[in-house]
Structure formats: structure tokens, C-alpha cells
Structure 1
Amino acid sequence: MAATSREVVDRVLRASLEMDTDTFVNLFAPDGYVEWPYRPEGVPGRLEGRDRLRAFLDSQAKGLVRFDEYRDTVVHETADPEVVIVEYEAHGTVLPTGAPLHQTIIAVIRVRDGLVVSYRDYLNPLVLAETLASVAAAEGGIR
């Protein structure tokens, strides 16, 4: 029997916090996707498929931030058994600069047959834009 949507979302959050790319990506359906509806320029709006997601996480995300903890996590199970909504605050460090990171996130995740088919990540785009700008400045304008 496949895991419940809630169980899959719990695994996704744990893998994300632990920066375990393999586990995170393998929790997605082969054609599953992540979307960032609100994002600064230069950040992709959608990554579809495990290969594209893995490549992005390996090349971009791992070198940008380290998450230390998720706080105030609230998981909402919905009337649709496939859909889970998660609210949380991510606290960590911007790796190239050593600056603290505090990001507020709401994610709408659809799970089918034990795998994520869609993950809409409504993060605060201002925090991401400031993080990218600080890294570019620290690297002498490179990024």
C-alpha cells in the first residue's frame, strides 16, 4: 500500500531539511514538478521531471543555503486526499556569505500513488531576491 499524502509530505520536508537530494527527488513522480509562482527574475518558474529537479538542486540550491531548522510547521490535510498544504518558517545560513536566512513558506503539494506529482512553493520572493543579490555582491557581481 502506498504511503498517505501526509506521510509523503513529511518525508519531503525531512529530505529538504537534511538537504538529501536523492531522497527528495525520488519522492517525486517521474513527471512530477516544482513550481515557484512568486520568484525574482532569473529563478525558474517550473522544473518538471526528476532529472531537471536533481540538476537544479545539485547545481544551484546546495551551494546557496543550508537549512538548520523548520519552525512553526503546520500541515493541513484537505478534503482532497491527494492535496496537503504546509506552512513553515525555514531558518538557515546563506552559504557564500554566512548571513542568516529566514524564509516563510507555504507549499501546496499533490501526492498520487505515494509520489509527489506537483509541488507549488509559495516562498517570499523578497527574501530570495535579497539572498541572490548578497551572494552576487560577495562574488563580485558573479551569479
Structure 2
Amino acid sequence: MNDRGAMTATSREIVERLLRAGRDLDVDTFVDLMAPDGYIEWPYRPPGVPGRLRGRAEIRRHLTAVAKGFIRFDEYRDQVIHETTDAEVIIVEYEARGVVVATGAPFHQTVIAAIRVQNGQILSYRDYINPLPLIEARAAPAQATEH
């Protein structure tokens, strides 16, 4: 794709690339899709997960740590992408499926995210995850080592 083609990507296409990079733990692609001052928010999160990451450097640090292996995602099921009346705003829904690396236990999480794309980059990514599976996955290795 030439530079002109890259500039004409729709908000939906940018979000599809972001989701693919997130699933594949492709930190470089994910960060490159973020605006320099873009942010990721988790309004509902387990203890220890930051509420907001702002800027590419902060997002890269966090995603690099995550990519080292707490959870490995295998697929996003039942993915639905909703385009809104605001061309910048995309709502996504999906079921994240994978494995808790430390235990090999299956991991399933429901996600709904509101994403704002401006000038071909992600300005905001509000990730409304269900925090309960993460809380349970974090507790499982600790419980296993107590016995």
C-alpha cells in the first residue's frame, strides 16, 4: 500500500489493525497506530492495572511487560465492530480467548471498547473489560503455590 492509501484508511480499518496487533501482542504495530498523545483507559480493572496510559512511550512500556507472558491470546471470537454516526468513533465487542501462561488454564474475557480515531491514528481507546477473569487468573498461580 502506498502512502496515499495508508492515509485514506477508514476508522474501522485502523481499529481492525489495532485489534489484530493486540491479539498478536505486536507491540510495535499497536503503538504505531496510536496518536503520539493517545491514551488507553480501563474504567473497570483489577488492582494493579493502571487506569490510564498516555503517550506512545508509556503504552509501549506497559504492553511490552504484558507481552512477556501473563496471558497469551489465541483468538477473538464473536467480534462485532459498530460504526457510529461519528465517523471517528468505533465500538467493538468480542470474546478474548487464550491461556494463562503460568498455569495453562483457559482464559476467556468479554470486551467492549470505545475507540476514537483521528487523522488515521487512535486518539483514545476506552477498554471496558470484564475484570473478574483477570482477578481470578492472577489469584490462581498464588493459590497453586500455597499448597
Report how far residue 62 of structure 1 moved: 3.4
| Aligned match of 1:84 | 90
In structure 2, what is the equivalent of residue 53 of structure 1? 59
% of aligned pairs identical? 64
Q: Which amino acid aligns with 1:42?
A: G
Shift of 1:70: 0.6
2:80 to 56, 65, 74: 74
Which ranges of structure 1 fall in alignment gaps of 5 or more residues? none
Which residue number corresponds to residue 15 of structure 1?
21
Compute the TM-score of the two structures, normalised by the length of structure 2. Answer: 0.90
Residues 80-136 of structure 1, C-alpha deviation per residue, up to 9 Å, x if partnerless? Answer: 000000000000001111110000000100000000000000010111111111234
Quick one: distance in 2 between partners of 1:139 and 1:64?
16
Match of 1:34 in 2: 40
Q: Relative to structure 1, is the Cα distance of residues 113 and 93 closer, same or farther in structure 2, using a 3 angstrom cutoff?
A: same
Give the aligned residue type for 1:30: P
Match 1:95 to one of 94, 97, 101: 101
CA 58–137 in structure 1, closer or farther in 2 if over 3 Å, else same: farther
Corresponding residue of 1:108: 114
Of 41-50 and 78-87, the range deviating more from structure 2: 41-50
What are structure 2's unaligned runs of at least 5 residues? 1-6
Distance in 1, matches of 2:53 and 2:117, equals 17
Contact 1:2–1:113, Cα closer than 8 Å, also in 2:
no
Root-mean-square deviation (CA, aligned residues, Å) is 1.3
- Residue equivalent to 1:5: 11
Indicate the SS of the match to 2:45.
coil
Count matched residues: 140
- The answer to whether the 8 A contact 1:27-1:116 is kept is yes
Counterparts of 1:40 and 1:83 in 2: how far apart (Å)?
A: 26
Q: TM-score, normalised by structure 1?
A: 0.92
Q: Is the 1:103–1:127 contact (alpha carbons within 8 Å) kept by the matching residues of 2?
A: yes
- Name the SS for the 1:44 alignment partner: coil
Q: Which runs of 4+ in 1 moved over 6 A?
A: none
Whether 1:130 aligns to 2:136 is yes
CA distance in 2, matches of 1:135, 1:16: 24
AA at the equivalent of 1:91: R
Q: Is the 8 A contact 2:25 2:67 kept in 1?
A: no
